[in-house]
Structure 1
Amino acid sequence: MSLEEYALDQNINVTPEECVSIYVNIEHRGDTVLKCAFGSDVALKRTRDFIFRLANRANQEGLPVDIFTARSYWGMPDALGQLRSGLPAGAISFTVDDESDIGSSDTIETEPTSPGEARRSYAILDVRVTDPARIIPATVLAPYPNQPGRQRVEMSKTDLLPLWFWRETGGLGIRITAHSFDCLTDKPSRIQGTSLKVGFWWRNYGTLEKQIQLRTKSQRNARGNHTAISHRHLAQAICRAVQNAMALMESVRSMRWGTLRSDARSGQNPDGELERVMAALVCAT
């Protein structure tokens, strides 16, 4: 019985969309990467939006969206405590098929759990974490903050599925200061462009965007070069951007404290000057 059917049986007024929210809250309970990074409200809303978008695109059987959601989630381990073979530990996964329009680089194919069962593909919506203190809180960057209408249009085009960097051993992530990225899978990612803009909005810091080049100059000049960038190469480029951003943020903070100490003696307000310094640094990058 679905949540909607149960609600009707109990004479509770609940819509299929509200049932989806209940399913999402249940499946994503506890500490997860996205909830720790962006907050529970943002993480759960992005998940709901992804499911509604996927249901409209892939639900060929005309199922109510709550039943589609319940069938698509791969929940907790079974009675024997067995996870479906092939899924990383802690992964919160969602069934996808060919109609979902999600590439193989963003899915994990699992082995059948019983004779005659077909292999199934899953997209990873989020990952549970055992040490949430290691997740750096941040804010999702939204384009055109002063143009709400244009922002809604651009956000509607946003790819809501996270891009995960899995290690060959099944673990998630890598140190940004790593000397080698060989431990990461080298399969193609969904990124096919020549460059990528990486946005940073860490708490207690200003916003910062950095453009990173993903191809050599000869590759950029070659026409029709639409081969996907590998996860390994993408992680390496992003890690360099993160290190540069951290160094820039630290230098600006040092400049601010130095100015504060100086102006505390003179009684001046350094905020305007700091704002210009930050703008100049951002433009320079």
Structure 2
Amino acid sequence: MVPAQELIRTKHCNSILAAAFGVEFACSRASDHARRTWKVVQTAAGPAGTFADFDHFVFFSYSDLHETDIIPRDLPTRAIAFFAWTTFAFGAYTFQSRSAAWWHVLDIDAPNPALIVPMPIFKPYGQSTMRQENVMRETDPRALWFIRSDGGLGVPVVGELPVLWHGHKDFLRLDGSPRKTIKIKVNWPGYERWEKQIRPMSDKGDNSVKRLANLVANKVNLFLSEHDINQGHTGTNPRYVVGTQPGQISARDVLLLGIVIVSGGAAMPIVQLRDGFAFAF
């Protein structure tokens, strides 16, 4: 049996989260979700247990035993899926495969990692490791992906929002409660950290993924417009300079893939450049 951490690294080393925030981040989020789920499953199973050990549990969690090659089918394109066991709710984070099983999409393979915009991950409470760990215990380790109804990934940050697979479902906390406000933090390469607050829940009670995607896309668009080189912001990383000249990045070049929750009240966008984008450097 392949050790759990080795299997997790194999699954996630070429993923979107690895390209955006680093391999260690992608693997730690997957491992965190796996251990939380393992604890719930073992508690529900009682003293007899269900699996011999964590390694076996993780292997079967990535496997659809109803498929001959154990790969779940009819999920979002290139999904790295983890079986939902008894922990799922019929919400924004769960998807049903061809075998009628339910899965969490923990990550997605990156066919072109160079197009993913890398951002240093925000860490709550700076260098206080203990406080960070306390916060992360209450933080949802799963990414929320903006998956289109055709199974493709991502929405433009300018222009019309496409129909989303789970667009009508609620954006909720890990405990199932609604989020009234959340800060969107952008650590664009070569620029100062930037953040803006959004209200995922409208005054009329709309707390949908569609609303969230639209709000986050608008904030990413705002960041790009405020940091255009024509506004006097040159940036320190020539590869990711924001602007409208060839090789520079404008809002029309950017696709919002989803978000990751980084603290109880903050999230970071997962951003990709359009297919065919030509870097100047």
SS of 2:143 mapped into structure 1? coil
CA contact (8 A) 2:92 2:166 kept: no
Q: Distance in 2 between matches of 1:148 and 1:82?
A: 38
Query: Which structure is richer in relative contact order (CA contacts within 8 A, separation 6 or more)?
Result: 2
Q: Distance in 1 between matches of 2:226 and 2:31?
A: 35
Q: Distance in 2 between matches of 1:25 and 1:256?
A: 36
Q: Distance in 1 between matches of 2:233 and 2:95?
A: 46
Matches within 5 A, 1:192-203: 192-203=178-189
2:54 is the counterpart of 1:65: yes
Corresponding position of 2:84? 96
One-letter code of the match for 1:73? Answer: Y
Aligned residues: 224
CA contact (8 A) 2:21 2:120 kept: yes
2:97 pairs with one of 84, 91, 110: 110
Q: Distance in 2 between matches of 1:183 and 1:165?
A: 7
Q: Distance in 1 between matches of 2:92 and 2:234?
A: 43
How many angstroms does 1:47 deviate by?
A: 1.2
Q: Distance in 2 between matches of 1:151 and 1:164?
A: 24
CA contact (8 A) 1:106 1:189 kept: no
RMSD: 2.8
2:108 pairs with one of 127, 141, 147: 127
One-letter code of the match for 2:81? Answer: S
Corresponding position of 2:261? none
CA contact (8 A) 2:169 2:209 kept: yes
2:4 is the counterpart of 1:20: yes
How many angstroms does 1:238 deviate by?
A: 0.4
2:211 pairs with one of 233, 245, 254: 233
Q: Distance in 2 between matches of 1:55 and 1:130?
A: 30
How many angstroms does 1:234 deviate by?
A: 0.9
Q: Distance in 1 between matches of 2:162 and 2:77?
A: 21
How many angstroms does 1:25 deviate by?
A: 1.9
Q: Distance in 1 between matches of 2:197 and 2:233?
A: 24
CA contact (8 A) 2:63 2:71 kept: no
2:120 is the counterpart of 1:139: yes
Relative to structure 1, the CA distance from residue 83 to residue 256 in structure 2 (aligned partners, 3 Å threshold; closer, same or farther) is closer
Bigger share in strand: 2
How many angstroms does 1:210 deviate by?
A: 0.9
Q: Distance in 1 between matches of 2:216 and 2:226?
A: 15
CA contact (8 A) 2:79 2:108 kept: yes
> What TM-score results when the alignment is normalised by the length of structure 1?
0.69
Bigger share in helix: 1
Q: Indicate the percent of aligned positions where both proteins have the same amino acid.
A: 23
CA contact (8 A) 2:227 2:233 kept: no
SS of 1:74 mapped into structure 2? coil
Q: Distance in 2 between matches of 1:120 and 1:177?
A: 35
CA deviation digits over 1:62-82, x for unaligned, max 9?
421111111110379966x79
1:170 pairs with one of 151, 154, 157: 151
One-letter code of the match for 2:75? Answer: L
Relative to structure 1, the CA distance from residue 103 to residue 75 in structure 2 (aligned partners, 3 Å threshold; closer, same or farther) is closer
Q: Distance in 1 between matches of 2:31 and 2:109?
A: 17
Corresponding position of 2:140? 159
Q: Distance in 1 between matches of 2:71 and 2:233?
A: 51
Corresponding position of 1:182? 163
Please list every run of 5 or more consecutive structure 2 residues that lacks an aligned counterpart in the other structure.
Answer: 173-177, 236-281
CA deviation digits over 1:144-192, x for unaligned, max 9?
1153332221122111011011100011111111323335542313332
